[in-house]
Amino acid sequence: MELLAILFLCSRLLTSLAQEDQPQQVYCNDADVFKAVDTALKKYNDGSKSGNQFVLYSITEGNKTGDRNIFYSVKYEIKEGDCPVQSGKTWQDCDYKEAEQAATGECMATIGKKGNMEFSVANQTCHITPAEGPVVTSQYECYGCLHPISTVPPDFDPVLRHAIEHFNNHTNHSHLFALKEVERAQREVVSGWNYEVTYLIQQTNCSKENFTFLTQDCKALSKGVTGECTDLAYVDPQLRIASFSQKCWIFPEYLSPFTISCRGCPKEIPVNSTRLKEALTHSITKLNAANNATFYFKIDIVHRATSQVVGGAKYFIEFTARETTCSKESNKELNESCEINKLGGILRCTADVYERSWENIIESTVKCQSPGKEQLRNCVYMGRPWEARAEPTSESVAS
């Protein structure tokens, strides 16, 4: 019974490790999502020196990442209101201007929340279309806020090297370990930089008896011991690692998701992984070929992806596709110049893709559906939008 209890607790731990910090879709009737967007819109309005404030019209996309430090990635649409930016009012105190006189816009923002602290806008980009005139792009980045890092920047490499050396020097394992994969990372700009990074490590063929540090001869063992580490590092303005702390958990061999017993198991991979490029291209091509729509669709957001080794590579991908401005009549195929039509159709899709690259084989099954009316209506604020602030209802939103 004791062994069963240990197995149960460890399996729950591994499940939480696998699921933690994976992007989760959230809806705009979530109170925290609304607070995050409210913070972002107020930040945008506060940055304007003249003209009128913008008022929230709809929240079109929302994803949540993290546990202790939470990040919301949102897309939302705004319309010009009747309150001047210098009026001292908030956007909730404003009504929309007449449609023919109102500027409109679409914003993409990342909003962070550290523990019990207030929301803060890490970065934001808004594309504003005046009532008459060209599109204007406004960008904002908070240099003192916590930012998720989607790709490891060059200046981050010394932190990872230091982390691996620290682990190898402070453990009594017989072999050296090497970096396998960075799972998530975030950075805060202070007088220098604070980093928090979680990554996987894997045992190499280099024993400490014969090697004092990692060399090019040290190769990761496919059946070797694996583990996960979370590090906190402060890099000073002179690019020196001034403080460092590390917590690592080595997976017991019988529970490791990377041991031979789990070869062929699906594994979560980053949604921006280059391994997904061909699979995504094949999926959207197949979607457009099977879709009778007048305009091409384009992948807007990749929500989740897994890979699996099965005599080749199998990918399962969840993504959102949006209608573009390129018609099938005028364009032979979807290309980079095709822009998303923010008023066009939206499809939520899943794709199963099988690749055998050495034989130039790639096959996919793509299934899509339009977002449900219940989800859509909770995302559009009509009339006096602050009435929907706490918990939108069918009377205060459009169907």
SS (H, E, C) 132-168: CCCCEEEEEECCCCEEECCCCCHHHHHHHHHHHHHHH
395 within a domain of the structure (yes/no): no
Q: Is the pLDDT of residue 14 over 50?
A: no
* Residue 281 CB contacts under 8 Å (≥ 6 apart), including other chains: none
216 within a domain of the structure (yes/no): yes
380 within a domain of the structure (yes/no): no
Query: Is there a single domain that holds both residue 157 and residue 89?
Result: no
Q: How far apart are CA 18 and CA 139, in angstroms?
A: 34
Query: Is there a single domain that holds both residue 171 and residue 222?
Result: yes
282 within a domain of the structure (yes/no): yes
Give yes or no for a contact between 28 and 64, defined as CB atoms under 8 angstroms apart.
Answer: no
Q: Is the pLDDT of residue 248 over 60?
A: yes
Tokens of 330: 């005028």
State how many domains the chain has: 3
Query: Is there a single domain that holds both residue 58 and residue 133?
Result: yes
| pLDDT band at residue 198 using 50, 70 and 90 as cut-offs | confident
Query: Is there a single domain that holds both residue 165 and residue 140?
Result: no
Which of 91, 241, 87 lies closest to 159 in space, CA to CA?
Answer: 241
pLDDT in tens, 213-241: 999 999 999 888 888 898 999 998 888 99
Query: Is there a single domain that holds both residue 233 and residue 330?
Result: no
Query: Is there a single domain that holds both residue 138 and residue 30?
Result: yes
pLDDT at 118: 82
Strand-pair category, 69-84 with 104-114? antiparallel
| pLDDT band at residue 162 using 50, 70 and 90 as cut-offs | very high
Q: In a 3-state reduction of DSSP, which class is residue 73?
A: strand
Q: Kindly report the CATH number assigned to the domain that includes residue 359.
A: 3.10.450.10
> What range defines the domain where residue 328 resides?
268-372
Which of 294, 236, 302 lies closest to 268 in space, CA to CA?
Answer: 302
Query: Is there a single domain that holds both residue 230 and residue 125?
Result: no
User: What would the mean pLDDT of 313-336 be, rounded to a whole number?
Assistant: 90
387 within a domain of the structure (yes/no): no
Q: Is the pLDDT of residue 110 over 80?
A: yes
Q: Long-range CB contacts (< 8 A, 24+ apart) of 263-266?
A: 263/309, 264/308, 264/309, 264/310, 265/308, 266/306, 266/307, 266/308, 266/316
Q: In a 3-state reduction of DSSP, which class is residue 47?
A: coil
CB atoms within 10 A of CB 242: 11
pLDDT at 370: 80
| pLDDT band at residue 23 using 50, 70 and 90 as cut-offs | low
Query: Is there a single domain that holds both residue 244 and residue 275?
Result: no
User: What would the mean pLDDT of 21-32 be, rounded to a whole number?
Assistant: 71
Query: Is there a single domain that holds both residue 357 and residue 309?
Result: yes
User: What would the mean pLDDT of 134-157 be, rounded to a whole number?
Assistant: 72
Q: Is the pLDDT of residue 283 over 90?
A: yes
Query: Is there a single domain that holds both residue 234 and residue 209?
Result: yes
Which of 195, 230, 263 is a domain's end point?
263
This prediction has a pTM of: 0.47
* Residue with more model confidence, 71 or 143: 71
Query: Is there a single domain that holds both residue 248 and residue 184?
Result: yes
Query: Is there a single domain that holds both residue 303 and residue 364?
Result: yes
361 within a domain of the structure (yes/no): yes
